[in-house]
Chain A
Amino acid sequence: MQRSTLGSFSAATVALLLASCGGGGSDGNPQPPPLPTNVPPTASAGTNQTVSGGVLVTLNGTGSIDSDGSIASYAWTQTAGTAVTLSNAAASQPTFTAPSVGATATLTFSLVVTDNGGLASAASTVNVTVTPAGSNVPPTANAGPAQTVSAGAVVTLNGTGSTDSDGTIASYAWTQTVGAPVTLSNAAVAQPTFTAPQVALATTISFSLIVTDNLGATSTASTVDITVNPAATGTVTGRIRFTRIPTSANGLSYGSPQLQVARGVQVQAVSPAAPTVPLASTSTDASGNYSLTVAPNTNIQIVVVAQMLRDASQPLPRWDFRAQDNDAANPAPYTYTDGQSFDSSASAAHNVDIPSGFSTTGTVTGTRASAPFAVLDTVYQGMQLVLGAAPTTNFPALILDWASDNPGGDTFFDPNGAQNIVLSADPTEDTDEFDQHVIAHEFGHYIEFNFSRADNIGGSHGLGDKLDIRVAFGEGFGYAFAAMVLNDPLARDTYTSQTNFVGCSAAGGGTFLCTSTFNIETNPSTTPPGSPSGNYGCWCSESSVWSILWDIYDTQADGSDNISLGFQPLWNVLTGSQRTTRAFTSIFSFIDGLKDSQPASAVAIDNLLAAQNISGVQDIFGSGETHFPNNVASNAALPIYTDIVVGGGPVIVRNVDDAGRYNTLGNRRFLKFTLATPRVITISVSSSNIDVNADPDFIVYRNGVQLNLATQDPPPQPETVSFSATNGDYLLDVYDCANGCGAEEGTPGDYNLTVTVN
């Protein structure tokens, strides 16, 4: 110890130096620095002992310490028991002869040490238990020194310091007394081992040791504390990419595969020995990068999971989109396991590229591993568009049901039960994992269903069909949404043919890769211009709907398009007035809501409507509409809704199959009435269909919500229902089943439906 004895000069000099640096006392006068302080030493009188009378006993003060110097002297004093004579009371290890005793007696000694600075310690005491000569002295257990280790380390306990003064240690008995249970290699040996458990914070584990001597005497317990610190961690980083087969005007370009970053997908680090138990997991960022924290020097593999997840443990927004095979025995998101295992402490980034499983000619050569990730990435883009308008959206769970044995052409959104988007996957006919407009279109159905309202009755539909207004809007919105998601109005849907059509390219082997293409931006208008009846543009055309919505959204002014509102106003209408409209969801209800919320754009919106052969929208019902498609009789197309008065006599509407069945224009006719006062009403519908099994049918809606009514079902006609009706706005969806039912029934044709409400 270097005792500080600074003179007054030195102290003043240091004080002045401190003052010049801004230090010193608050009164402005220089203050002397604190002098170094001598720390007192700590005495240790050793461990308690048990001895027989007549035995030479050694006291042990060598455990005494001085943190800032050295022990200069020892002073032993007997404080209790039969007096004995120490060999040297100033030695670190004095001895004495245990006295002969008739019964067990205890001698107590005190030790005070003094350091080289002259400071004395507090007293430390030790007991020496003296047993009568000839008796067996119990052993003394020593559980060894305390230890501090890292989680995962192998720890060795040490009981070899245990002693027996008059014999030998015959056995050891270790017991854990504190902490999460661990397994000792052998609790009956002097030096058992165990593996320190994984912990999040520093944790103490304690053990007790009792030893037994060769004559069966047992010691008192000795304990030892093991402090376990969390394991040191390492960071594993990298980038995930998947292989996309790009589309072209002539089919999928298998010869030009592209690696694209996989955004928002789950990434796991696993041990090759236990690949189903992730050691760590995370999600890729918008650049496909991931960062995982795992224990160092661990052999791991990277597993990419076809799932985008932000669960309830995190604040909004949240989502759970997963790509899986719903027909699997235990459906679960697809995974791609990187073939290479590596040391987690390796510093290099670990990138993973997921292959397509296709050759450059489109032949399947392996697992089509990238397909689920390609599907998810389009959903990711759709989610971003929504989050841009509604940053705290809580997306309901959605399954992307893709499997290599999914049939061609069967791509659809199914909202029933667990919501699914099923995707076709037959590359010899039609596989959709790389058709982004198709996927985004189906995702648009999911968005409309969950955040707006979808009165769309579904069913097959073809490009150019004249549709039920509910179908036209739902399908048109889907493709407009897809164009917005992808910022690309040129919609493509690829397929494979055995015949060479326009839009195909030869792939060899007698097959051709083809693309169905339509431009969201440039839907043809009516012909001839100004005619009330037209070939193309229509409020009943999904093509018109997508063209109008896209033009409202996009930034490009062209033709009749002089408006650019972006997505936010469209989202606001979708989730606002369109969700609660008292009419069916159609271009009329949507545009009416948009014009109400964007009055300054009303003229520009009407210009877009006119270009699609649609009158300026006056209300949610399309009142005043005068245009109709030329393949459907005008009295089967207009008015969109026919007014009927409660108790006002029958109303006749025309029901036709001019444009097809079930979901095309004229298959269903709509009537509306308002009930101001609650009352029992009876609705009756009959058809001019003379078939004995003719089946007129109807569905009742109140304020836009379908009522679950038990109607009296013909034959014979008419179909009727009576019910207690509350006041509100009512819609009737009426049809002859031959034209408008979900299955072929009777002979489709042109019929009059007579409707009464009394």
Chain B
Amino acid sequence: MQPNYLVPTLRLATGAALLSLVLAGCGKPPPPGEPTAPAQDAVPAAPAAEPAPSPPPDAPPPTDPSPAAQPAAYQGPALDSMLAATPSAKLSVPVDLRYRFDAEPLANQPVTLHLAAVSRVAGSNLHVSVKQTQGLQVASGPLEVQKATVAGVYRQQLSVTRSAAGPEKLRILVTMEMPEGTAFGYYSVPLTGGNPPQKLESVKQR
């Protein structure tokens, strides 16, 4: 893609058409040709019945991968082959959420969704959960990571089945605790239209 950046204002306008990817930000994918290193990848966890314990407010930041974040058989697609889920417009969680479907989501057809949460800062109790709504079946519990590291990549794959009258997009809630406080963000993943364009927003929106 080669946007026209001839004039700053035109640059903004062009950028707006593609902004969703920016709004989502992205992690630091490996150089082309290199495999994605899943050393910090976490395995999907069962839904939590109780909240995970929170570190004390003055606890030092986690520096090691979570014990739960063990290398696993699931490698997932390369980050640079995944699209950026659209994050909330307001102050959110410092996580880039990327996704890829194995096939085009069709009505009443299960499809595998690959998710990768890339933490931009160190944190704890990273949760990624798909919002259950009418017309949508998601065969997985939330992704839970007790300790998230800077640039850590945390993956999950889910089976998603959307009915004909189901939602047009998945809504995915990501939460994490940082020393500054707790944060959350809802991300959107389109379920219709193949790889539809992302939400258009002005880069000047704050």
**A residues bordering B, Cβ < 8 Å?**
408-416, 422, 424, 428-430, 432, 438, 441-442, 445, 454, 456-466, 474-475, 478-479, 491, 493, 495, 497-504, 514-519, 523-524, 527, 535-536, 542-543, 631, 657-664, 693, 695, 697, 699, 706, 708-711, 713, 715, 719, 737, 741-745, 747-749
Contacts and interface: CB of A to CB of B under 8 A. Distances in A.
B41 interface: no
B52 A502 contact: yes
Chain B: interface secondary structure?
Answer: loop
B73 interface: no
A145 B88 CA distance: 77
13 contacts: A409-B92, A415-B204, A429-B186, A461-B91, A463-B182, A464-B183, A475-B206, A497-B129, A497-B173, A524-B180, A657-B26, A742-B203, A744-B22
A559 to B, nearest CB: 13
Interface of B: 1-9, 11-12, 14-19, 21-26, 28-29, 31-32, 47-52, 54, 58, 60-61, 80, 84, 87-96, 120-123, 125, 127, 129, 131-132, 142, 150-151, 171, 173, 175, 177-186, 201-206
A469 to B, nearest CB: 15
Query: Would you list the 7 A-B pairs with minimal beta carbon distance, nearest first?
Result: A742-B15, A518-B181, A743-B18, A462-B94, A409-B88, A463-B183, A744-B21
B174 to A, nearest CB: 9
Nearest to B2: A693
Contact of B121 (A412, A429, A631): A631
A515 B182 CA distance: 8
A536 B180 contact: yes
A428 B131 CA distance: 9
Nearest to B47: A499
Given A409-B90, A741-B15, A416 B204 contact: yes
A462 B9 contact: no
A502 B173 contact: no
Contact of A502 (B22, B61, B182): B182
Given A465-B121, A516-B183, A742 B11 contact: yes
B18 A518 contact: no
A658 B28 contact: yes
B65 to A, nearest CB: 16
B184 A514 contact: yes
A445 B204 CA distance: 11
A743 B21 contact: yes
A659 B150 CA distance: 9
Contacts of B184: 430, 493, 495, 497, 514, 516
B127 A461 contact: no
A479 B90 CA distance: 12
B12 A747 contact: no
Residue among B51, B52, B88 having the largest count of chain A Cβ atoms under 10 Å = B88
A547 to B, nearest CB: 9
B8 A708 contact: yes
Given A463-B93, A744-B22, A747-B32, A524 B179 contact: yes
Contacts of A693: 2
A514 B54 CA distance: 15
B119 to A, nearest CB: 9
Contacts of B51: 500-502, 504
Given A457-B204, A463-B178, 5 more contacts: A415-B204, A502-B52, A661-B25, A743-B19, A749-B31
B19 to A, nearest CB: 5
A445 B206 contact: yes
Contacts of B177: 502
Contacts of B185: 409, 462
A741 B1 CA distance: 12
Contacts of A713: 4-6
Given A409-B185, A516-B181, A516-B183, A458 B48 contact: no
Contacts of A411: 88-90
Contact of B93 (A424, A459, A462, A523): A462
